[in-house]
Structure 1
Amino acid sequence: MDVNDIGRRLAADGAMTVLLDGRSGAGKTTFAAALRAAWGVGTVVHLDDVYPGWDGLRAASEHVERELLVPRRAGRPGRWRRWDWTAAASAEWHLVAPDEPLLVEGCGALTVENRALADYGIWLDCAESLRRHRALARDGATFAANWDRWAAQESEHIARNDPRALADVALTAA
């Protein structure tokens, strides 16, 4: 199954909310762009824009549940608040209509609570050496200084939620 197959399946099933999870550098953002094109989704929320700093993986997951997914499931607009990494502060809110297809992408998207509020879950995996190379090539010294700190949060998320088991499909990126 490839990204186009998944996009066609989501469209055929009328999916409204999809969660895409995986460790840093697994290729989630690239996959999300391809899935958006294949599915024709209207809104993509990147958790990189939501995490409240380097220690915020769990807080972002809970924020997405409480502010975005719960209201949408109830037929109301959901919202999410952007984190301004430069100012190290919360920034503006973004609204997402309940009838607008939504893809939430990032490590921590696929929790037990969030999966109950979504139509479809995807886990993307990749070898650690390749993930680290990609992440450091993308984010450089900033991420290098925080790699272990972030990886510990990813491991805690995986131990707590087992997102691979929650996913409808698990893919290994090359």
Structure 2
Amino acid sequence: MAVVEAYAELARRVLARPARLGRTRLVAVDGPSGAGKSVFADRLADALAALPGGGRPPMVHTDDLLDGWADQFTFWPRLEVRVLAPLRAGRPGGYQRYSWVRREFLPRVVPVPVTPVLIVEGVSAGRRAVRPETTLTVLVDAPAELRLARAVARDGTGILPELRRWHAAEGAHFAADGTATGVDLVVDGAPTLPHDDRRYYVRGPGGGT
């Protein structure tokens, strides 16, 4: 059954839990493209920043780490070596952001400091390999037709061939990874329950938190 929950309460739960990636509480926001992951991650970050003594956590978008369309899941070593491993050791990390316009990584390094919370958002961000080190793993999902329409509205019809291949690969990944049953929280990315979507999200069935 769908339930309306507050971002503020979820933020408090995150901070109450232990850090598992060095001194950092890693929050992984996973889900298929167009489901609403970025919106959820941004609003959780806002809720964390609003807590007394809190600060807005840094956020890594996995799309920024992909070396083009063909790197859909194989980007992970880049995240591990440049971000996760340094934080695990208590050191700051950093990465180069991929330009989808230039089709190359930009030279400037984006720093990832050691902070109480880090949010990693994107397809496969909560994959099985990283779950032992996450403080919270979230799956945001929405109907396939709506997700496709959102992506086309954002990026144009020219991406449709790549997008259809991308969606098929996503489905295979989530099935093999057991994502829906392995995460802590499942979020409805296309809720029909009335709510203030800046302060609340709708929790779907599944998840353990």
Partner amino acid, structure 2, of 1:144: L
How far 1:78 sits from its partner (Å)? 2.1
Percent identity between the aligned chains? Answer: 33
Q: Aligned partners of 2:94 and 2:176: how far apart in 1?
A: 25
Please say which of residues 17-26 and 107-116 is displaced more in the overlay: 107-116
Q: Which has the larger radius of gyration?
A: 2
Query: What secondary structure is seen at the aligned counterpart in 1 of 2:133?
Result: coil
Q: Does residue 1:28 correspond to 2:32, yes or no? A: no
Q: How big is each residue's C-alpha offset from its partner over 1:72-113, in whole Å with a ceiling of 9 and x where there is no partner?
A: 112122222211111211223222122352101011111122
Structure 2 length as normaliser, TM-score? 0.75
CA RMSD of aligned residues (A): 1.9
Sort the Cα spacing of 1:107 and 1:59 in 2 relative to 1 into closer, same or farther, 3 A: same
Unaligned runs of 5+ residues in structure 2 are 20-24, 50-55, 191-209
Indicate the residue corresponding to 1:43 in structure 2. 58
1:121 pairs, out of 129, 137, 140, with 137
Structure 1, 6-15 or 160-169: larger mean CA deviation: 6-15
Q: Give 1:66's aligned residue.
A: 81
Quote how far apart the aligned CAs of 1:21 are: 0.3
Match of 1:97 among 89, 113, 133: 113
Gaps of 5+ in 1: none
Q: Which has the higher helix share?
A: 1
Q: 1:53 aligns with which of 68, 71, 77?
A: 68
- Residue 58 of structure 1 aligns to a residue whose secondary structure is coil
- Distance in 1 (CA, whole Å) between partners of 2:42 and 2:92 is 23
- The residue aligned with 2:99 is 84
Structure 2 match to 1:160: 176
In 2: Cα distance, 1:12 partner to 1:155 partner: 33
Paired residue type of 2:11: G
Instruction: Report the Cα offset of residue 23 of structure 1.
Output: 0.3
The one-letter amino acid of 1:83's match is Y
